[in-house]
């Protein structure tokens, strides 16, 4: 199973933080928006992230754990920001 096969809420449980239940993206049914192709924009995900109380921590988590996809309003590839 690849990262894109998992629901975002499943990825969030990998963290030991007790705050992920407050994430604005939690339960979002548009899973593909969080793992866009390089040619796709990620405005939808970025907009949801903008109002999230975990914005900064989410991005830090992605960088520290080598995540790919949209985290904290930025797109990551194996923990490196590729689009902001």
The string of pLDDT tens digits covering residues 41-59 is: 999 999 999 999 999 889 9
Lowest mean pLDDT among 2-11, 15-24, 45-54, 75-84: 2-11
Can you tell me the mean pLDDT for 26-40? 91
Supply φ then ψ for residue 80, to 5 degrees: -110, 135
What's this model's pTM, rounded to 2 decimal places? Answer: 0.77
Q: Answer whether residue 66 shows pLDDT above 50.
A: yes
Q: Single out the residue of 37, 25, 40 nearest to residue 68, CA to CA.
A: 37
Cα dihedral 68, 69, 70, 74 sign: positive
């Amino acid at each position: 199973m690849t990262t894109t096969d998992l629901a975002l809420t499943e990825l969030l449980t990998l963290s030991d933080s007790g705050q992920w239940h407050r994430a604005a993206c939690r339960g979002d049914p548009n899973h593909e928006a969080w793992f866009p192709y390089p040619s796709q924009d990620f405005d939808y995900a970025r907009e949801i992230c903008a109002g999230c109380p975990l914005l900064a921590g989410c991005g830090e988590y992605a960088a520290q754990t080598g995540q790919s996809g949209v985290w904290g309003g930025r797109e990551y590839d194996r923990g490196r920001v590729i689009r902001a």
